Chain A
Amino acid sequence: MKVLVAVKRVVDYKVQIRVKSDNSGVETQNVKMSVNPPDENAIEEAVKLKEQGIATETIAISIGDDKCQDVLRTSMAMGIDRSILVKSPNTLEPLAVAKTLKKIIEKEKPDLVLMGKQAIDDDSNQTGQILSALINWPQGCFVSDLKIEGQKVLISREIDEGIENLETALPAVLTCDLRLNTPRFASLPNIMKAKKKPLESIEIDSLDVDTEAKIKVLKVVEPPKRKAGIMVKDVKELVQKLKNEAKVI
């Protein structure tokens, strides 16, 4: 079984982001970039499936500029076998990302696609669902537990009410929650080894997908600031304030 993992390069989750002064977007120059956090869970799951003898080959794919090579090297240092970089000069909307992934899937013919449940930059939470619909494979979103038995796929997915359990079949598209597993750290020897693993580059133009942006960003602004609060000295004062000042109890 072949597993494809979609990996997005995003501003690291620990970075305090800054809105650009011309309000055209968020500053991404000279800030730490990393693998989108839930995509690390997708990588970890793929590597585990390989270690368990369920997967025979694992491939990571990232769509973006040349710098996305670093997240692909990280993926391979974590244990992914090889990578594909689809080079795109522009940032793509989820629909275009999904269409690009579809082209690669037609070529690579994986049995399972693992992705993150949401990219922590645009917070769209769309790409896996769109891809599943485009290629007509079963969809499993926000997965926090996964078992694969032959062609059978058993998933637990996190929903607002609790957990939903589904049984489906390969091939499938699954999007991972952070609770699916604990991603491993890449060891130094594995980081060295990853440098020699194959990384193929493809120009997005050669794939013939519609990459035109359908949504125009007019401006990006800072969120409104909350006005400063106060420290209370004890519980009595807190309860008084909530009762008489804020009037919320």
Chain B
Amino acid sequence: MAILVIAEHDNQNIKTSTLNTISAAQKISDEIHLIILGKGIEALVNKAKSIHVLSKVLKCDNEKLENLLPEISAPVIASVSSNYSHILAPASTFGKNLLPRISAILDITQVSDVIEIENENTFIRPIYAGNAISHVQTNQKINLLTIRPTSFEKCEDSGGDASIEDVTYVETESQTIFINREVSKSDRPELGNARVVVSGGRGLENSDNFKLLYDLADKLNAAVGASRAAVDSGYIGNECQVGQTGKMVAPDLYIAVGISGAIQHLAGMKESKVIVAINKDLEAPIFNIADYGLSSDLFQAIPEIIKELDLLNQIES
């Protein structure tokens, strides 16, 4: 049977998390359909149809879907569910907000935050902030999964030619009025899929000092992340938080600066390929998982690293 993937997008582009989720779907079936909801999504749908592995793109274009309120989106997706053995969404705030409502409508238990697919009904997911790994099996008529994007490579987004099919909008009453989204714009790569992430913690002391990290990030073409403590203290926005209750990241290089390494933080970054920790406290637990530890005052170390990187660049050019 076919698999349905729910697209996460920003009205212009399909998000990378969707491409990761499609890769996860490929582990189960060759027939993958993508459903895109939104308002004025013609261009988006036309782009999506060339995603390599898709055979069909379902679309529901309706002004009531403009802000993708979960109360309004879920019934539309549920209305096509009987054609599918699995429905997948990224385990982003978008997917987490939406898929459990489909679980309620279909009376099916969802498996959250899947990091590995063993076969069509056996899935692997972290529990207890990644301190244990659970292997679970379900035999429900439809499997509902949210997929951790960083655990699956993104699929090819070109070369395909999927057919397009309209899905009828399902009228749903809702009391909720969308006011706005406060989205911080940045030219840096997106935290969820950057190749390099530079993260700051309470050791940074204030938001002004975070400029040091931005400078370092710019040298490395990196995204900037943070610990919960740094966000709680107002040094940086919540969209930068890495960890159990923030974002999951798995870059090639993760540099933790002034972060102690609480398990809730490690939950979000310990799958990174190479981890660097810079901390003045030799006892900080972050050193236990770091590939390279530097015990030093960050206010000294970061400017020095920037200088070294500049030197390297000069030699190379």
Chain A contacts to B: CB under 8 angstroms: 11, 13, 16-17, 19, 26, 38, 93-95, 98, 117-118, 120-127, 129-134, 138-139, 141-142, 144, 158-169, 177-179, 214-223, 226, 229-232, 234-236, 238-239, 241-243, 246, 248-249
The answer, among B132, B289, B291, for a CB contact under 8 Å with A246, is B291
Taken together as a complex, chains A and B put the C-alpha atoms of A91 and B140 apart, in Å, by: 19
For this complex, 13 residue pairs linking A to B, each with C-beta atoms less than 8 Å apart, are A17-B131, A26-B127, A121-B127, A121-B128, A123-B113, A133-B105, A168-B176, A179-B232, A216-B138, A229-B292, A238-B292, A239-B309, A248-B252
Q: Are A166 and B176 in touch, CB under 8 angstroms?
A: yes
Q: Is the interface of B mostly helix, strand, loop or mixed?
A: mixed
B206 sits at the interface (CB 8 A) = no
Taken together as a complex, chains A and B put the C-alpha atoms of A163 and B231 apart, in Å, by: 13
How many A-B residue contacts, CB cutoff 8 Å?
Answer: 241
| Size of the chain B interface, CB-CB below 8 angstroms | 85
Given contacts A120-B244, A216-B137, contact A229 B93 (CB under 8 A): no
Chain B contacts to A: CB under 8 angstroms: 10, 70-71, 74, 92-94, 96-101, 103-105, 107-113, 122, 126-138, 140, 174-184, 192, 196, 220, 228, 231-232, 237-239, 244-245, 247, 252-253, 263-264, 270, 273-276, 287, 289-296, 301, 304-305, 308-309, 312
Taken together as a complex, chains A and B put the C-alpha atoms of A147 and B238 apart, in Å, by: 20
Residues of chain A within 8 A (CB-CB) of B96 are: 125-126, 129, 141
Given contacts A231-B287, A248-B252, contact A98 B104 (CB under 8 A): yes
The answer, among B184, B196, B291, for a CB contact under 8 Å with A229, is B291
Taken together as a complex, chains A and B put the C-alpha atoms of A241 and B100 apart, in Å, by: 45
Taken together as a complex, chains A and B put the C-alpha atoms of A176 and B112 apart, in Å, by: 19
Q: Are A126 and B112 in touch, CB under 8 angstroms?
A: yes
Residues of chain A within 8 A (CB-CB) of B247 are: 160
Q: Are B304 and A249 in touch, CB under 8 angstroms?
A: no
Q: Are B176 and A167 in touch, CB under 8 angstroms?
A: yes
The minimal Cβ–Cβ distance linking A139 to chain B, given in whole angstroms, is 6
Q: Are A249 and B309 in touch, CB under 8 angstroms?
A: yes
The answer, among B71, B94, B109, B264, for a CB contact under 8 Å with A13, is B264
Taken together as a complex, chains A and B put the C-alpha atoms of A100 and B6 apart, in Å, by: 29
Q: Are B104 and A118 in touch, CB under 8 angstroms?
A: no
Q: Which interface residue of B103, B104, B274, B301 has the most chain A CB atoms within 10 A?
A: B104
The answer, among A133, A168, A177, A236, for a CB contact under 8 Å with B177, is A168
17 extra A-B contacts, CB within 8 A, seeds A139-B101, A166-B176: A120-B244, A131-B104, A133-B105, A160-B247, A161-B183, A162-B182, A167-B176, A178-B232, A215-B136, A217-B136, A218-B136, A221-B133, A226-B270, A229-B287, A229-B291, A230-B293, A232-B294
